[in-house]
């Protein structure tokens, strides 16, 4: 197989959050630095029998998926991402996340974490010496991700 030349860079990715479960969307792209999805492993069981050298292997259900987003902490007049996420975390934790790795709107694929639960929000912290921007992150847990060819009304 010939090597692809169509690899993407995440530098132009887009990420949106919804604190009202998909009614309105907040563009996190100017603040976000990374998106990482994990989990979703399928359970598998095995059983050896008295006859045979190999086990019987069967698949089970899948585990939940987590999505972690790192973003720059700001203190703006308009509620920045941290203030919005802090309110979600103080409430029932339900929110939605969607992102496009290519960042080209509806021309690329979008990944959606619908009806996700905000399980962790890190508070601002850091060190004085390096002068790095203050970064925070949030983690949502969702039953599974959906992939589509268009954003969910985020733009």
| Residue pLDDT, tens place only, 84-126 | 999 999 999 999 999 999 887 656 899 999 999 999 999 999 9
Would strands 110-121 and 56-62 be described as parallel, antiparallel, or unpaired? unpaired
The domains located in the chain, with CATH, are 10-148 (2.40.30)
Backbone φ, ψ for residue 119 (5° rounding): -100, -20
Would you say 68 and 38 are in contact if contact means Cβ atoms under 8 Å apart?
yes
- 30-83, pLDDT tens digit by residue? 999 999 999 999 999 999 999 989 999 999 999 999 999 999 999 987 788 999
CA 154 to chain centroid, in Å, comes to 16
């Amino acid at each position: 197989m010939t090597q692809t030349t169509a690899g993407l860079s995440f530098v132009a990715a887009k990420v949106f959050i919804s604190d009202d479960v998909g009614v309105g969307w907040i563009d996190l792209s100017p603040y976000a630095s990374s998106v990482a999805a994990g989990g979703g492993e399928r359970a598998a069981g095995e059983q050896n029998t008295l006859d045979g050298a190999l086990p019987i292997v069967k698949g089970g259900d899948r585990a939940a998926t987590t999505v972690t987003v790192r973003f720059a902490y700001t203190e703006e007049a308009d509620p920045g991402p941290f203030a919005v996420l802090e309110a979600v975390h103080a409430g029932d934790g339900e929110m939605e996340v969607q992102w496009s790795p290519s960042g080209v709107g509806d021309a690329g694929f979008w990944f959606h974490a619908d009806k996700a639960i905000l399980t962790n929000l890190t508070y601002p912290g850091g060190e004085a010496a390096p002068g790095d921007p203050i970064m925070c992150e949030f983690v949502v847990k969702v039953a599974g991700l959906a992939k589509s060819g268009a954003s969910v009304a985020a733009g």
